[in-house]
């Protein structure tokens, strides 16, 4: 239903959700969000839909309408288990494609088809085929931040959280690791496997500099710096902890540093800090322009119209799905080992 037709009682019903975000969304802004939040949560029931939201989404999406939240790995894993008929991906296009690969019979929506990714755009399927010709027999690991066409040309996928485990699971002396050069470099430092890299970069993380971090340290005594491995090597060297967005969140929750700087997309700090009052968050603000194309308004429109729907050529989908499922199988194997 149109936002202006939502009654006061329905808006009041979502008031408790504001408690989750009141530390990061000013009182004056909530009335603009509340009608959308109410409408979206009603539409989810009507359409039997769930919303998957990446850690880089804004707090009103992440905390108030999302059903499943997390990093790329968490979203991929949990997308498999949903009973919903409709999956709305509050993230970027490759994430929606991954959800569709794992749920081919479900309707998967991306509220804005223009929500892309600089990493995904840095490499093509033809590039992968060329690399295979240059390095015959060498397995190809591709970051999930790639298109379905690229995944289809690769042997297995990975995320920043499981990249090392995936590389070492292959049992080979060399691997081609695509497309993030900095993540590949970070993995190479932790393994004896030779890593053949590609020069792809995240436009958010590559903007951070070691000089910038040094200035933050000088200005904030006792500062803990935690960084995403898509950052340049000199930035990672300046950091106290390096990990995926999920690992960064866990670090803050478990370690409770008095002051922390999260070197990643800036909505991440908002989403983590919303539930933590005893940690001071120092916020560098590098926004992802693609993530920010997803809004409450276009999430509502997407649910109302069940569009734009993600479709993948079946010939591509079957091979791409195999690469994603191999990644998930490695994760399941690791969990079985731990349980044993």
Cα 339 to Cα 137: distance, rounded to the nearest angstrom: 34
CB 321 within 8 A of CB 102: yes
pLDDT at residue number 155? 98
Question: Which CATH number is correct for 120-202+313-339, 2.40.30.170, 3.40.190.80, 3.40.50.1820, 3.40.50.10800?
Answer: 3.40.50.10800
Higher local confidence (pLDDT), 335 or 138:
138
Per DSSP, the residues of 102-132 read H-TTSEEE-S-TT---TTGGG--HHHHHHHH
Is 60 exceeded by the pLDDT of residue 280? yes
For domain 205-282, give the CATH number.
Answer: 3.40.50.10800
pLDDT at residue number 48? 97
pLDDT at residue number 6? 57
Cα 58 to Cα 63: distance, rounded to the nearest angstrom: 8
**Apex CA 336: angle with CA 247 and CA 151, to 5°?**
60
User: What's the chain's Rg over C-alpha atoms?
Assistant: 20
pLDDT at residue number 285? 78
Count Cβ neighbours within 10 Å for each residue of 244-281 and write b for 16 or more, e otherwise.
Answer: bbbbbbebbeeeebeebbbbbbbbbbbbbbbeeeebeb
What are the sequence ranges of the domains in the chain? 3-116+291-305, 120-202+313-339, 205-282
Cα 103 to Cα 75: distance, rounded to the nearest angstrom: 12
pLDDT at residue number 175? 98
Is 50 exceeded by the pLDDT of residue 221? yes
pLDDT at residue number 333? 64
Is 70 exceeded by the pLDDT of residue 314? yes
- DSSP E strands, 153-258: 156-158, 174-178, 194-196, 223-227, 241-242
Is 60 exceeded by the pLDDT of residue 335? no
pLDDT at residue number 332? 74
Residue 12: band (very low, low, confident or very high) from pLDDT cuts 50, 70, 90 = confident
Nearest to 204 by CA among 174, 168, 231: 231
Nearest to 92 by CA among 50, 145, 134: 145
Nearest to 30 by CA among 40, 45, 20: 20
Fold of 3-116+291-305: Rossmann fold (3.40.50)
Residue 275: band (very low, low, confident or very high) from pLDDT cuts 50, 70, 90 = confident
Is 90 exceeded by the pLDDT of residue 334? no
Q: Phi, psi at residue 215, to the nearest 5°?
A: -70, -35
pLDDT at residue number 340? 37
Length of the chain: 340
Averaged pLDDT, 198-209: 96
Q: Do domains 3-116+291-305 and 205-282 have the same CATH topology?
A: yes
Q: What is the pLDDT of residues 82-100, one digit of tens each?
A: 889 999 999 999 999 999 9
Higher local confidence (pLDDT), 73 or 196:
196
Is 70 exceeded by the pLDDT of residue 107? yes
Nearest to 122 by CA among 205, 208, 198: 198
Is 50 exceeded by the pLDDT of residue 56? yes
| CA atoms in the 13 A half-sphere facing the CB of 54 | 32
SS3 53: strand
Higher local confidence (pLDDT), 185 or 78:
185
Mean per-residue pLDDT over the chain, rounded: 93
Averaged pLDDT, 7-32: 87
Please identify which residue in the block is written with the tokens 């296009």. Answer: 93
Q: Which residue(s) pair with 90 in the sheet? A: 53
């Amino acid at each position: 239903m149109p936002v202006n037709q939502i009654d006061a009682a329905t808006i009041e019903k979502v008031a408790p959700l504001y408690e989750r975000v009141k530390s990061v969304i000013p009182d004056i802004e909530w009335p603009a969000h509340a009608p959308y939040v109410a409408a979206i949560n009603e539409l989810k029931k009507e359409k039997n839909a769930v919303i998957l939201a990446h850690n880089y989404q804004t707090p009103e999406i992440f905390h108030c309408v999302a059903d499943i939240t997390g990093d790329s790995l968490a979203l991929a894993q949990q997308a498999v288990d949903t009973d919903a008929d409709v999956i709305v991906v509050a993230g970027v296009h490759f994430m929606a494609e991954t959800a569709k690969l794992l749920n081919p019979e479900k309707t998967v929506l991306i509220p804005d088809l223009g929500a892309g990714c600089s990493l995904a755009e840095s490499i093509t399927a033809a590039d992968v085929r060329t690399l295979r010709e240059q390095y015959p027999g060498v397995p190809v690991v591709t970051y999930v931040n790639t298109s379905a066409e690229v995944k289809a040309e690769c042997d297995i996928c990975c995320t920043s959280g499981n990249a090392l485990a995936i590389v070492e699971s292959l049992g080979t002396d060399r691997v081609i690791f695509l497309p993030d050069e900095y993540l590949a470099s970070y993995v190479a430092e932790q393994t004896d496997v030779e890593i053949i890299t590609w020069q792809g970069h995240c436009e958010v993380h590559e903007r951070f500099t070691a000089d910038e971090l040094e200035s933050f340290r000088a200005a904030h005594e006792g500062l803990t710096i935690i960084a995403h491995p898509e950052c340049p090597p000199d930035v990672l060297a300046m950091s106290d902890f390096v990990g995926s967005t999920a690992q960064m969140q866990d670090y803050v929750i478990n370690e409770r540093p008095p002051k922390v700087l999260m070197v990643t997309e800036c909505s991440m700090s908002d989403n983590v800090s919303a539930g933590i009052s005893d940690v001071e968050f120092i916020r560098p603000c590098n926004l992802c322009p693609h993530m920010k194309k997803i809004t409450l308004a276009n999430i509502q429109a997407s649910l109302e119209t069940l569009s734009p729907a993600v479709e993948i050529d079946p010939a591509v989908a079957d091979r791409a799905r195999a690469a994603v499922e191999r990644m998930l199988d490695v994760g399941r194997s690791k969990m079985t080992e731990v349980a044993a």
